[in-house]
Structure 1
Amino acid sequence: MEKLPITREGYVRLKDELEHLVKVVKPSIIAAVAQARELGDLSENAEYHEARKEQSFVEGKILELESQLAKAEIIDVSQLSGDKVKFGASVTVENLENGTSTTYQIVGNVESNIKERKISLSSPIGKAIMNKEAGDVVEIELPNGQKIYKILKVEFK
């Protein structure tokens, strides 16, 4: 089975999401299905069909989360060190075109979230900076064109 690297924080977040779906969301959907079923003819019962659709979606999400958790390999980022970019690293890069700098944490696919500045090691930026170190300049092919970044700092927090 292929292991999925994940931070402890990411693992806890997935477990919490799974628990919420199983203990809160799924029971409320089951109740909604039962209530809609009582409304009569199921072939013309929009509430019933909508509740069943939602139930199917939630059950699919539960299976997905269970699979991700089963494959998870928790990596304690605080125990990592080094000068090169790898999973768990916080990397500060400078866009050489406009001079702006941004810090990203390199994480696995299941916990990437650009709003939190967590990028997947398999994303275009993640792939381009992997195994590089401070001072290296990388060219990255992005959907909106090619960008050039300089790695300013690599640290493990």
Structure 2
Amino acid sequence: MKKKYITREGCLKLQQELDNLWRKERPEVTRIVTWAASLGDRSENADYQYNKRRLREIDRRVRFLRKILEEVMIVDYHPDQEGKVFFGAWVELVDDEDNILKFRIVGPEEIYGRKDYISTDSPMAHACIKKQIDDEVVLDLPSGKKNWYITNIYYSK
């Protein structure tokens, strides 16, 4: 089984989501399903149908989160990373037209809901790894090559 990397903050966020789903949402939805089922005809009971579906969604997400949390390996900042782009780095780039791009390189499970995070699997992350400030990052895009220059690298400590 291949380990997936995650930041400490990302792991904490997934654990909090799992805890919330399992300890708060699921018991509440289960209570509503039980109440709705006691009313009789379930085929025309919207409360029953909707909450039964929501219960399946919660259970599916709980299984997924438990599996992911077993597979992940937390990667913390190490002083040896300073000055170079590695996992967990915040990177600022500028292109030839002075457009600025800023993002953090994180694990694939952490990017959802964040526009300023990119996955380690992305072409941009691959192009940036091990680079330093003032290094050129070249990406092959469908429209042609695009050049970026690293202006800043820092880590959340």
Q: TM-score, normalised by structure 2?
A: 0.85
In structure 2, the residue matched to 1:93 is: 93
In structure 1, the residue matched to 2:134 is: 135
In structure 2, the residue matched to 1:75 is: 75
Q: CA deviation at 1:55?
A: 0.4
**1:127/1:35 Cα in 2 relative to 1: closer, same or farther (>3 Å)?**
same
* Partner Cα distance (2:60, 2:140) in 1: 34
Q: CA deviation at 1:28?
A: 0.7
8 A Cα contact 1:113 1:119, kept in partner? no
Matches within 5 A, 1:1-157: 1-97=1-97, 99-113=98-112, 115=114, 117-141=116-140, 147-157=146-156
Q: CA deviation at 1:153?
A: 2.4
Q: CA deviation at 1:45?
A: 2.1
RMSD of aligned Cα (Å): 2.3
- Structure 2: gaps spanning 5 or more residues: none
**1:149/1:110 Cα in 2 relative to 1: closer, same or farther (>3 Å)?**
same
Q: CA deviation at 1:8?
A: 1.0
- Structure 1: gaps spanning 5 or more residues: none
* Partner Cα distance (2:153, 2:25) in 1: 40
* Partner Cα distance (2:141, 2:112) in 1: 17
Provide Cα deviations, 1:51-87, integer angstroms capped at 9, x if missing partner. Answer: 1110000111111111111111011125551443221
Provide Cα deviations, 1:85-128, integer angstroms capped at 9, x if missing partner. Answer: 2211221111323x132332211011125746221111232222
Q: Which of 140-149 and 78-87 deviates more?
A: 140-149
**How many residues were matched structurally?**
156
Q: TM-score, normalised by structure 1?
A: 0.85
